Amino acid sequence: MAGFQVRHVLDIKAALGEGPLWSQEQDALYWLDQRSQTLNRFDPVSGANRDWHLDARPGSFSLCDGGLLIAANLGFYRFDFAKEVFEFICDAPFDPAIFRFNDGKADRQGRFWVGSILVKFEHHGVPRGSYYCYDAGQITAGITGVQTPNGTGFSPDGTIMYRAESMRRAVLAHDYDPLTATPSNERVIAEMPEGFGIPDGGTVDDEGGLWFAVPFGETGKIARFTPDGRLDLHFDVPVLAPTMVAFGGPDMATLFITSGRIEDLMDRPHSPLGGDIFAVETGFRGIAEAITKV
């Protein structure tokens, strides 16, 4: 499916670019290089990128007042926009020798949901992970038996929680009570066809559409699904391993795409542009992320 002009906006060759999130306060895209343990700030107007090293492996993050709340393998950290420093908040609710945090997203009230995964890659299909909810310093386990948590997101009205199980090539939905932050009624709404790729990091647009980075197919691609799981559109990107997407820009109309140099996991050569960041105008708009209370 053609028609989308994917722009190459940052040549940086990240080992594992992940977690893009637009800050309206900063007019910038924040993103992670998980393997290099860096938080990055990309200014699409100037093209400049800055990075800060974290003494832990970051998985994902949410916006908080004046900064970011980062879920890393050793625990939660706050990054202060003004001071440009990390502050340790609390320990992770698991043994970091066995588990680490991976994908996560705040619900429409700002409660930060983040999934855990087994550290060893060869164990990523084992359902021992969990989704944890961080709310004003309190951490509770909400979903258990998770294999490879990715694609976390919430419907525009906040009543459905979406997530992807990458190793199963499946997209799941839960009914979600925004008053009690309780997910229920888990069901599979979509499965990636054989050879299409696996669902990785994602986001939800203001019409309720589900967007996923889809690596490790015959080509790397971006796909949009309707809320009920029907494949609506897809287009190729110039890397084999796109990792996550996020809407941003002043009108939330630009879809940013991170990528990684992780083709070795599938015994395939690196893409020349692997690890770089891309952008595309899709005709859809995103939703500003809610603020997490630290």
Catalytic residue flag (residue 200): yes
Torsions phi, psi of 121, nearest 5?
A: -60, -40
Q: Are 225 and 209 within 8 A, CB to CB? A: yes
Beta bridge partners of 17: 33
Choosing from 33, 103, 107, 200, the catalytic residue is 200
How would you list the strands of the sheet with 38-42, edge to edge?
17-23, 28-33, 38-42, 49-53
Cβ neighbour number for residue 26 with a 10 Å cutoff: 14
- Is residue 259 a contact partner of residue 278, using CB atoms and an 8 Å limit? yes
The structure tokens listed for 75 are: 């625990």
- Tell me if residue 168 falls in helix, strand or coil: helix
Scan for tokens 């309206």, then name that residue: 24
Among 206, 244, 208, which Cα is nearest to 21's? 244
* Enzyme catalytic residues: 200
